Structure formats: C-alpha cells, structure tokens
Structure 1
C-alpha cells in the first residue's frame, strides 16, 4: 500500500503542470459580451443580436484581446462587421468594432473611441470567434 501511495504522489507531481485550474476560469475579468451588427464605422450600434454570459464563450472574446497585436500604418475604409460591448467585473465597459476575417485568416479590431489604432487578431482567434458567433455553418 505504501508503495502505491508513493507511486501516486510521483504521478501527481508529473501531471501537475497539466492540471486545469478551475479557479483561473473563475478569475476571468470579462463577464459579458454583447454583439451587434455594425452599420457604419462612425456610429456604434448598441442593439445586440447576441448576448454571451457563458464563461466558455466570453473567454473567446477575452482571448481575442489578449492575442491581438497592434499594427501600424493601416487605414480601414469599409464598415466593420460587428460592434462589441465588453462588460467587466466592477461595471467597466469597453466598446470595439470588429472586422471578422474568414476561417484561417486574421481579423482586425479597433476600440470604438480610438479608431486610429488597429489590432490584428490571429487566425486561431478568428476561427474561435466564427465558431462562437455561429458563423461556421
């Protein structure tokens, strides 16, 4: 029995780095995402067609922001696809406009109040956004 307990302890040490931290999931600061169809670049549509509360879906948008990289020297002249309102714990909100790419292609996003700064969203985040928005059919 003692030999088995030592063996189990060793297995636990080896697999510890791969453990899913459920507390980390609960620490996500973003708690709600409202998605509206965008009409123009100059005007924010605050009438959502989709509203996400589920942590797994909200995390897709949080990862979108975390994985984005600022790109310079780009000017977007076409209307965005979506207007996003991101709600955080404590009542803070941010508004973004999203130009959603096709599968396996990058997307771009701007903060509504700062349209002069553009961030590139990598392909894997685009794919997850397409999936969560239900556009993969």
Structure 2
C-alpha cells in the first residue's frame, strides 16, 4: 500500500513539473509572428488611440517589440499607474490584434507596459530593450 501511495505522489509531482515547464504565459503575446506595430500617444486606460504617429512592419523592428513583450517581467501586486504615455497596437500574421499601454523610461532605465485588457497587471522591460525602444519611438 505504501508503494502505491508513493507511486501516485511521484506521478503527481512529475505531472506538476511537466505542466510547469510547458506553461508559457508570454505576457499575453500569442505564439505567433507579429506583422505590424502601430504606436500612438495614449488617451487613457483600456483602449488604444488609433491616431498612430508611426507604424513598423520590418522584421528587425518587429523582433525588438516581440522581445520586449515576451521577455518582460510581471510585477507583483495590483498596478496603480499614472496615465499611460504611449499605446501600441500589435497585429499578428493571422489577423489577431492586441493593445498595450507603454510608459517608456529614459536611456538606461526600465520601462513598463500593460495589456489594455488587463489594467491591473504591469510588466517591466529591461534597460537594454528600453534603449532600443527609445531609438524607435522618439
């Protein structure tokens, strides 16, 4: 009987490990390729301003944004942020769309973003990627 209980516990533990390894939240970013990024000044939380001041469709720039979103670190707790500075509309090759609010840091600082559909959660972007985004956005 003890062996059966140990075996069941071992299987349960292995299942948790395998599921955890397969889990890839990716910060709301689908496992798809980005086809276009549009950027605008934000008009507030919960929606993307459609008055875009720049649009990117080249692979190198799209890779920077994909890296920014997928490598960002989720902050614990509920977000209490000032009004967003920028909005980003991401369009994927399959036609899906996603919006983000972005607070762009200064050179050498981290930046912050949130999904427009989840304004209670923020993500930090590294200083290195912030520097790349500054060069693209400013």
Please indicate, yes or no, whether the TM-score normalized by the shorter chain is above 0.5. Answer: yes
Match of 2:56 in 1: 52
* Paired residues, number: 107
Name whichever structure is richer in strand by fraction.
1
How far does residue 46 in structure 1 lie from its aligned partner after superposition?
A: 1.6
Match of 1:123 in 2: 127
Which of residues 51, 59, 62 in structure 1 aligns to 2:66? 62
CA RMSD of aligned residues (A): 1.4
1:73 and 2:77 equivalent? yes
1:109 maps to what in 2?
Answer: 113
Tell me, in whole angstroms, the C-alpha distance in 2 between the residues paired with 1:77 and 1:122. Answer: 18
When the two structures are superposed, what TM-score results if normalisation uses the length of structure 2? 0.72
Q: Does 1:90 align with 2:62?
A: no
Uncovered stretches (5+) of structure 1, i.e. residues with no partner: 1-27
5+ long unaligned stretches in structure 2: 1-31
